[in-house]
Amino acid sequence: MSRPVLLVRDLSKQYPMNHEAVHALRGVSLTVQPGEYVAIAGPSGSGKSTLLQLIGGIDTPSGGTVEILGTPLQQLSDRELTRLRLTRLGFIFQRFHLLPVLTAQENVELPMAEARVPRQQRRQRALDLLRYVGLADRAGHLATQLSGGEMQRVAIARALANRPALLLADEPTGELDAATGQEILDLFRRLNQDGTTLLVVTHDERLGAQAGRIIHMLDGRIQSDTSDIDSAATPRHHPATPR
């Protein structure tokens, strides 16, 4: 078996609230292999978004460890962690969070510009990715001129910009109507088939149904994990294909 993309061991997180500790996560452990499509489901407050933020290195755990491609996040400096998020991880948010003053293409270019990809190369890749998510004709439009579904597809293209090893999505269909949400789910399936490893926090049962593996969480713990390694896709050469 190849090296796991993600290895989580005994992860816990407590928030202080009114002089008391709120346990958002209680000793979560999981492993994600390359090419897996994992859905994390559970009711609100079950800790799934917190888990995603700790895996993404945008929050620090109270205990336990997270390893991305064998690199323990806890040992990284802030600068190294930022670099890892830029080059190894892709983030997709419920509310898209595109920069409204930039065009779709510029939004996709942003992480590549930060990674110092040469201008010509990043423009070409941004166009390729927008074509991949079906928005080639909207490349020059400002984010504010796009519909919700289009914004989320641009956000997906942005997350793929630096060919991440793991794509993290937090309720990616939460702000979308059913039909548009289905388009995003179809895109995720295609991404996974093309070799992208996905870890998606969702309430959407349809997403759970199409993911190869569903982890159910409750009260900060993993309640069930339907691991299905066989569903891991064989990567094909494509703009979304990770390095």
Partner 1 sequence: MRGLGWSLKGLGRHRLRSALSVAGIAISAAMLLDMVMLSGGIEKSFAELLLARGYHIRLTPKGTLPFDTEATLSGAGRLIAAIRRDSSVEAAGAVLGTSLYSRRNDSLVTLFGYGIQPEAQALYTLESGHDLGPADTTGVLLSLPAAHLLGAGLGDSVTFMGRLDPQVVTAAVGRKLVVRGIVRWVYDYRGQPSVGTVLPAMQSLAGQRIGDHVSLLMVKVREDTAAALVAARLRTAFPQLEVNSVADLVRHFKQRLVYFRQLSYILASMSLVVTVLLIGTLLTITVNERLGEIATLRAIGISRATVVREILLEGAVLTLLGSSLGIVLGLLTARYLDSILTSFPGLPAAFSFFVPRGDSLTTAALVLLLTGVLAALYPAWLAARAPIAATLRTEAT
**113 binds partner 1, rule: CB under 8 A:** yes
Return d(Cα 116, Cα 105) in angstroms, integer: 16
**115 binds partner 1, rule: CB under 8 A:** yes
**109 binds partner 1, rule: CB under 8 A:** yes
- Say how far residue 214 (Cα) sits from the centre of its chain: 15
Q: Which of 107/192 has CB closer to partner 1?
A: 107
**53 binds partner 1, rule: CB under 8 A:** yes
Q: Which of 58, 69, 136, 218 binds partner 1 (CB under 8 A)?
A: 58
Q: Which of 71, 82, 227, 241 binds partner 1 (CB under 8 A)?
A: 82
- SS3 assignment for the chain: CCCCCEEEEEEEEEEEECCEEEEEEEEEEEEECCCCEEEEECCCCCCHHHHHHHHCCCCCCCEEEEEECCEEHHHCCHHHHHHHHHHCEEEECCCCCCCCCCEHHHHHHHHHHHCCCCHHHHHHHHHHHHHHCCCHHHCCCEHHHCCHHHHHHHHHHHHHCCCCCEEEEECCCCCCCHHHHHHHHHHHHHHHHCCCCEEEEECCHHHHHHCCEEEEEECCEEEEECCCHHHCCCCCCCCCCCC
**110 binds partner 1, rule: CB under 8 A:** yes
**94 binds partner 1, rule: CB under 8 A:** yes
Q: Which of 97/221 has CB closer to partner 1?
A: 97
Q: Which stretch binds partner 1 (CB under 8 A): 63-71, 87-95, 190-198, 211-219?
A: 87-95
The number of residues in the chain equals 243
**95 binds partner 1, rule: CB under 8 A:** yes
**116 binds partner 1, rule: CB under 8 A:** yes
Per-residue binding string, partner 1, 133-172, x by CB under 8 A, is -------------------------xx--x----------
Q: Total residues contacting partner 1 (rule CB under 8 A)?
A: 35
Q: Which structure tokens are listed for 70?
A: 């064998």
CB of 102 to partner 1, least distance (A): 6
For partner 1, the binding residues (CB under 8 A) are: 49, 53, 56, 58-59, 78-79, 82-87, 89-91, 93-95, 97, 99-102, 106, 109-111, 113-116, 158-159, 162
